[in-house]
Structure 1
């Protein structure tokens, strides 16, 4: 008979999910942090800071990315206003949050998708396959481009849809309850990476634009925590 102590599923789940502040700090960290940059927010910050952050730095960053690509700013403004009202203490249910989150997240994930990289790899693989089957180089290249276009469009839709469905549900719950634990279980670090990719470009998140996005989000979070804790 085993004497090993039993761990409940709830305990495993809780221990496996880092606090939202830890998740966010990990994504926003860059070289500046090693040289005395912005400190990690305290683990017990008021949840209003999350709403203030989304209504401020997050909304500004994503809004700029949307405008650059000719998107509709209305859904993003609606979400920003809702975060402002929530930060002031107004309560909204999961359904209300879902309605405003869904179009915003879908557009963000479309912007964050690495379509150029996916297209290039698919075109090269398909052309290589055609060449191995004896196709002429010109025909193989045309086949590769056609395959890559269809493959990329389909992959982009699936990527955006799957991430939108999952993150809308998780974040709607967290924003409705206002609980830090629920927000951590929504894995904001994953959405945060998508915000940065949407702003900087999926293949440029390590470059200057990606660093700028991280700095703006980091500074915005610091300000939101200060305001919520005042």
Structure 2
């Protein structure tokens, strides 16, 4: 697998991709308190800070989420270990990063999938359709439940698989090249939101647990940036 040493320059026809610190800062901002402190101006050039963050605060948060929901911690510990070795100066190619990223991301997106919301909407829509066709209320309800279960299972597989595959490839390139611009091009704000949903529950991303997750990730990143740029 080949890698690129740097991203092509932005052109007039290419949408401007915000710096990763801007993206992540927005995703982790505490709107209630107005706390948007995150990283200093040097963070955009300090890729070591990203590895420190992923090996520390991020891995800790996702490890707790996986343990709470009975998931397999092995993929996440494998990813943490590679990040920790990268902090120590080891360089890994895209294939190595891809091998540890994809299984870990599959679990993140599985936990982040809003299954209850999708199931409820599908059941209501299917039941309404059956009622409109003259079905008895109980039969329509049973049809809605069956349809929703099947629909949600398929939707979850597609959501988890597509996000894990696409994002593993994008982040593998960024980590292999140690390129902050490639990391920004992977749109990390979306992955941050998935981490928060995995920890707090996909149906509770505005609640206390979600705020706790944001605070932990925000504080962890601020701390490692100081360490990486000192």
In the TM superposition, what are the counterparts of 1:65-144 in structure 2 within 5 Å? Answer: 65-144=65-144
1:191 & 1:39 partners in 2: Cα distance? 17
Q: How many angstroms does 1:31 deviate by?
A: 2.9
Per the alignment, in what secondary structure is the counterpart of residue 72 of structure 1?
coil
2:15 & 2:121 partners in 1: Cα distance? 38
Q: How many angstroms does 1:10 deviate by?
A: 3.6
2:99 & 2:18 partners in 1: Cα distance? 28
- List 4+ stretches of structure 1 deviating above 6 A: none
Q: How many angstroms does 1:13 deviate by?
A: 6.9
- C-alpha deviations, 1:57-89, integer Å up to 9, x for none? 000000000011111111111110110110111
1:3 matched residue in structure 2: none
1:166 matched residue in structure 2: 166
In the TM superposition, what are the counterparts of 1:1-230 in structure 2 within 5 Å? Answer: 10-12=10-12, 16-31=16-31, 34=34, 38-42=37-41, 43-230=43-230
Does the CA-based 8 Å contact 1:45-1:225 persist in structure 2?
no
Per the alignment, in what secondary structure is the counterpart of residue 57 of structure 1?
helix
Per the alignment, in what secondary structure is the counterpart of residue 72 of structure 2?
coil
1:218 & 1:14 partners in 2: Cα distance? 30
Aligned length: 222
Structure 2 unpaired stretches of 5+: 1-7
1:203 & 1:27 partners in 2: Cα distance? 17
1:10 & 1:218 partners in 2: Cα distance? 29
Does the CA-based 8 Å contact 1:45-1:229 persist in structure 2?
no
Per the alignment, in what secondary structure is the counterpart of residue 24 of structure 1?
helix
Normalized against structure 2, the TM-score is what? 0.92
